[in-house]
Amino acid sequence: MWKYTGRATLVATATAGLLLGATTPASAMTPFKPTYTLATGWTCAGEIDATALSGQGITRSGEAQMRLRGTFWSATPGSHQSGCTVTTTVEWRNLDTGAGGSAATVVAGGPSGQPGPEVGLTLATGAGRIEATIRTTPLAHLPSTGEFAVSEF
């Protein structure tokens, strides 16, 4: 009798774990390919790394957090006293609802290849599959586009 009771308990526990796990929204972290760009200040050029974050415990329901960090280099002698900056825009579109929008911030970094401080943007995208493009203005750049999911919880 104990043999069957033990199995039944094990099966019930495993099933409950699967069901509860399936109803809990997962947190997601989606890295983008770098956005290559020129930047202001002492002839700077470099890249902006971006990661989209969403999910319970990270953002509010229907929102995503975009984290941006710049790494820049300068060929100008004596430029190590000044930093490099670039206005960075994240344009997004919800592929499920058709909603869209954009948000911008300044990304900064030192001119000697050291990553700058991480900056964040909150995107109120609503739930769905989100396509986002990272651009810099008004300077020349190679944009980066990625896709991630945002859930309601």
pLDDT tens by residue, 72-88: 998 875 655 568 999 99
- Which residues 6+ apart lie within 8 Å of 63 measured at CB? 54, 122, 123, 124, 125, 150
Helices (H), 28-80: none
pLDDT tens by residue, 12-32: 444 344 333 433 445 689 999
pLDDT tens by residue, 44-69: 999 999 999 999 888 999 999 999 99
Q: Tell me if the domain spanning 28-150 has CATH number 2.30.29.
A: no
Sign of CA dihedral 17, 22, 27, 32: positive
Coil, strand or helix: which one is 32?
Answer: coil
- Which residues 6+ apart lie within 8 Å of 10 measured at CB? none
What average pLDDT score do residues 125-131 get?
Answer: 97
Q: Cβ distance 88 to 136 under 8 Å?
A: yes
What average pLDDT score do residues 28-42 get?
Answer: 92
